[in-house]
A and B are shown apart, each in its own frame.
Chain A
Amino acid sequence: MILTPAEWQVLALSAQVGICATLLCLVPGIFFGWLLARKDFFGKSVLDAILFMPMVLPPTVPGYLLLVTFGSQGVAGQWLKKHFDIELAFNWKGAVLASAVIAFPLMVQAAKLSVQMIDRRLELAASTLGSSPFKVWWSVSLPLMLPGILIGSIMVFSRSLGEFGATITFVGNIAGETRTLPLAIYSATHQVDGDAMAVRLIIICLALAFFSLLMSNLLTRRAEAWLGVRRA
């Protein structure tokens, strides 16, 4: 299967958006996952609901909210433009933000589950061996969270590759700038002679989704074996 330069461009842009969205979700996802799993505080249920809302909302809703907040007329958009000369609307960086917002709950959920699976007594043992709370987190909790973080990252990446509604609402469908795989498929299906292109991109999507899930499975098994949870 030979791809045209335009299709390679779509693929490269999708990978770029997916990788950047995954990196953007990583630190806050781990933080909120840990917070929800380990801490009890006033408003926890509210925070939990807010963090997971992108999962249940039609993606066009977060897309529209991003547009009014980070668009050229939005408060955050104007602030970013004025202080950092950054424009998100109708820009690939905006596609990263849209993908990250939609996929963020997957990272939080994966991190939260991985924290809940850690045996607290391991952390207590580390504490009685002279490790401060931060060192316990760094040297015990974080390594034991790795399989979950890995799964979360792959899920965020895969979800970003498939992100459509929020992206098209916030950053549009601009070839070479914001046209990621699903948007390119959508465009191709609306062209008179776009069927062949659509089929090629759909095959790529199927292959990427399959390999992402396969990688997730293999890496998790490797990580679990490394942690001693399961033999390789």
Chain B
Amino acid sequence: MSGAYEAVIGIECHVELRTRTKMFCGCVNEFGGEPNTKVCPVCLGMPGALPVPNSKALEHMVTAGLAFGAEVPAFSKFDRKNYFYPDMPKDYQISQYDMPLVVGGSVKYWLEDGTVRECRLTRIHLEEDTGKSTHAGSGDGRIAGSAYSLVDFNRAGVPLMECVSEPELRSAADAVAFLESLRRTLLALGVSDVKMEEGSLRCDANVSIRPAGSSDLGTKTEIKNMNSFRSVERAIESEIARQIEVVTTGGRVLQETRGWDEVKGVTHSMRSKEEAHDYRYFPDPDLVPLEVSRDDVDRLRASLPALPWERFNRYTHEYALGPKQATQLIDNPSLGAYFDRVVAASGNPQQSSNFVLGELSRLANETNTAVADSSVSPEHVAELIALVEGRRVNSKIAKELLTRMWQGAGSPGEIVEREGLAQTSDPAAIERFVDDVLAANPAVVAEYRAGKTNVMGFLVGQVMKASHGKADPALVNELVRKKLC
């Protein structure tokens, strides 16, 4: 970005909650299916039908709020947002206007280099999803130029959480990292599948620019139609560049909604915000107010799992793992849990991550089996770590042991015992190997003595080979060096 300007970005996202049934009726909440088969009088907005809120969806909201450190007000209510649209069955949406279930809080997120940041949330409220329209007759499925639309109400009434951030993000990378953290958190909580490709996570970005260091807010545009994290990043970057271009060429950014064109890689104007909607919000008279009890809040707070940003902190600070390794563990829940058990049993996070993210993950890829589902138990890995720490086996043997363990050979101690794989740390025995190797390679020895010290590795390797890998590598090094002097 041009150094003279900085971007101010806020994110609004819609997240479909994972429940068995829809928000206000007993229809199943499942992605896809034959059109108009998951509908009933309530979610079709039939005359006389009435909504009754899904208690699980309310619980998910409170859980999410607590995970983001937000306030869960004692009193909340549903309002009607009135506007006409063919895929909205009642031509109003049950939503929350001035008393959302969740207020404030923040998303803590980290960038690729491990920098941890925080973006505050304005609010999280609960509403119902709309149906889906398919636009026909325009050739490209787009609404512009279409001749008619086909409507499927299967998605209508699915519980939808709307999460609004403060405009505190400063770059496209920030925005993506924010979304990734939000997604990880909601996944960890089990409140949503958060799949952008299935539309269970949808987001819009509000973007503006201002002179770097200024505290003013510039005119913002709202970016829509971003279908992946990658497109969020590209769209925001492109929009920031566009706004800078507009401003530096003497133009003015207009407040408007802009759509992201994935193919062309640019945003384009969709509609002007000047025609402000008059949504005529009012309390939904079909529903009664919600009072979240402190007992429920305490119960849900107590049942929160370890949150991704907390784990990131622990992995990178306490365990001194790199941000990439930490992220890898967080993004693979079963592997992360496995790793945590190995650490708990071994007390050695560094070695645990070496084995879990290294050899075990490699084996998992090769055999297409999750580490957690393999025959290697975390306790066995911890046992192996202890063997390495006690210099009973060296790392090469350790790798072999892991392969044997993966194949179901049992505990590493037993294998070592059974197969005599214990490391040789007897200096006299090793010395014999060293002498043999030096004797067998006089030319190399001469090279070393002539100053070509990098041949040392070759000689060490030969000693290790001669010991069938069992010699203590540190001791071999030490003895080879001593003998060569």
- The answer to whether A binds B is no
Q: B-side interface residues toward A, CB under 8 Å? A: none
Q: A-side interface residues toward B, CB under 8 Å? A: none
